[in-house]
Amino acid sequence: TIALKHGAHRMGNRTDADMVRWRSLRFGQFIHWGLYAIPAGEWNGKTYNGAAEWIRSWKEMPHKAYDQLYRQFNPVNFNPQQWAAQAKAMGAKYMIITTKHHDGFCLWPSKYSKYTIAASPWKKDLLGPMIDAYNKAGIDVHLYFSIIDWNHPDYRASLKNAADSAAGKRFQVFVKNQLAELLQRYPTIKGFWFDGTWDDSWKNDGAFSDELEQYLQALHPGLVMGSRLRADEKGARHFDSNGRLMGDYEQGWERKLPATIADVHGNDWEAVMTVPENQWGYHAKWMGHVKTVNEILEMLVKSVSLNGNFVLNFGPKADGTYRAEEQQLAAGIGEWMKVNGAAVYDGTYAGFEKQDWGYYIRKSGTDSVYMVVFNMPVSGSLRVKLPARTELTGVSMMQGNVALAPEWIGRNEYFIHLPNKQQESPMVILLKTVKGENKDKGNVEKAR
Ligand SMILES: COc1ccc([C@@H]2N[C@@H](C)[C@@H](O)[C@H]2O)cc1
């Protein structure tokens, strides 16, 4: 291995209470809200085909015009209690809110910047009421913070000369001040979700990112921060130059999921997902495929089955309301979670051989394994292959707690014959197992 001063400092996963809690939550809500919701992907009668929150980088959007938008930001229909209630009904257990996206506009009245909500017609802090409402609803809050800041005069993508280096130093002080300010103002938050850390100016100063992470942990012990913050002294990101994960969980799964358990290398990880193909901020015209309730549920269940968290993104409008598609999606997901959430919360990789009908999820630290069926076989019979030294002691449908009698088909394999092959939404079956020998016929008697 390479000697590193600013590589990973921890072998293996964090096991403290704050991380155990983060891992148990499994399902989160991302919220991208800011000035970009005003143009909403359109300007001068033209439609921007990129992600709405990146419209400032579009050649058709003059920087001056974008930078004046704060004069119009007045979310008169903002209702944080309603937002929190919607998230609670959906079954989200944590929420990540954009405090400041790449455009640099702060949703809180930062004393380190003039480009904040205080300068808008709304004037008031937006983060505080949101954090209070979500915490009251029993939902943890994490803060998204973009290091890239297109508005700040000292931001440099790369440091080409002494003047750049001086600006870069001033910018690092600004970043540190804003993060400390956020922790001081919002002491109940549980983590930071960093973004915008790909530029050379950041990548080439691994020492600063390492010191910053330690500074924040010292200010707020237990803080959960993903792998996107840090670079090591060789400019490696997410994984240091020895291939070890930096930060508390792998944070690279953006709009994509790992395929198998081998892809996650035993690390904690989280996937963040958009409803359309690629829109985080509010875009008036969603183009292309919009994900359905069952599609999102499959991503959520697949993530948990592979030991990860899944975060679904919402992009509120400039007035503070949500578009109908997002409201309907939240409600539909919530309906399923109300009945089947036990299979998701506190779920972990089960260690069963994957079958085509869907996913296994083990309730953390127990012998209870959930089967979440997405692909009903034409036979209506679900094959289950038990891992070694595992006995099946009970099988039941989650809906209605109906006991099922599996058919033993040899060695450690069973068929679960379902009474009904029709399914409109994912079906959950609970397997009760015990450690033991794979007795042949013996298990079937018990399972009956
Ligand atoms: C260079 O490609 C990207 C893609 C997405 C992003 C941001 N990360 C997501 C979580 C959103 O905030 C998106 O704007 C940044 C750079």
The closest residue, in CA terms, to atom 13 on ligand 1 is 280
Residue reference for tokens 């998204």? 144
- Ligand 1 pocket test: pick from 54, 101, 192, 313 the residue with the most ligand atoms within 8 Å of its Cβ: 54
Alpha carbons within 13 A on the beta-carbon side of 150? 13
Q: Over the chain, what is the mean pLDDT?
A: 96
pLDDT digits (tens, 9 = 90+) for 181-215: 999 999 999 999 999 999 999 999 999 999 999 99
How confident is the model over 114-142, as a mean pLDDT? Answer: 99
Residues with CB under 6 A from ligand 1: 32, 51, 53-54, 195, 254, 272, 280
Residue 30 CA, closest ligand 1 atom number? 10
70 C-alpha vs ligand 1 centroid, how far in Å?
21
How confident is the model over 87-99, as a mean pLDDT? Answer: 99
Separation CA 103–CA 6 (nearest Å): 29
Label residue 440 by pLDDT band (50, 70, 90). Answer: low
Token digits of residue 200: 């050379």
59 C-alpha vs ligand 1 centroid, how far in Å?
18
338 C-alpha vs ligand 1 centroid, how far in Å?
31
- Ligand 1 pocket test: pick from 35, 148, 280 the residue with the most ligand atoms within 8 Å of its Cβ: 280
The closest residue, in CA terms, to atom 16 on ligand 1 is 196
253 C-alpha vs ligand 1 centroid, how far in Å?
11
50 C-alpha vs ligand 1 centroid, how far in Å?
11
Token digits of residue 122: 């709304």
315 C-alpha vs ligand 1 centroid, how far in Å?
14
Residue reference for tokens 């289950």? 384
The closest residue, in CA terms, to atom 8 on ligand 1 is 195
How confident is the model over 307-322, as a mean pLDDT? Answer: 98
278 C-alpha vs ligand 1 centroid, how far in Å?
9
Q: Are 89 and 134 contacting, i.e. CB atoms less than 8 angstroms apart?
A: no
Separation CA 159–CA 200 (nearest Å): 8
Q: Are 322 and 316 contacting, i.e. CB atoms less than 8 angstroms apart?
A: yes
Identify the DSSP state of 50.
Answer: S
Q: How far is CA 193 from CA 16, 19, 257, 420, 428, in A?
A: 19, 14, 18, 44, 32
Residue 98 CA, closest ligand 1 atom number? 12
What's the pLDDT at 436?
A: 83
Separation CA 51–CA 283 (nearest Å): 8
What's the pLDDT at 442?
A: 45
198 C-alpha vs ligand 1 centroid, how far in Å?
10
Label residue 315 by pLDDT band (50, 70, 90). Answer: very high
Residue 146 CA, closest ligand 1 atom number? 12
Residue reference for tokens 């291995």? 1
What percent of the chain has pLDDT above 90? Answer: 96
How confident is the model over 234-258, as a mean pLDDT? Answer: 98
Residue 32 CA, closest ligand 1 atom number? 12
How are beta strands 140-146 and 413-417 bridged, if at all?
unpaired
CA angle 207, 211, 214 (to 5 degrees): 145
The closest residue, in CA terms, to atom 15 on ligand 1 is 196
Check pLDDT > 70 for residue 70: yes
pLDDT digits (tens, 9 = 90+) for 27-51: 999 999 999 999 999 999 999 999 9
Q: How far is CA 199 from CA 180, 204, 207, 440, in A?
A: 22, 8, 15, 60
378 C-alpha vs ligand 1 centroid, how far in Å?
41
pTM given for the model: 0.97
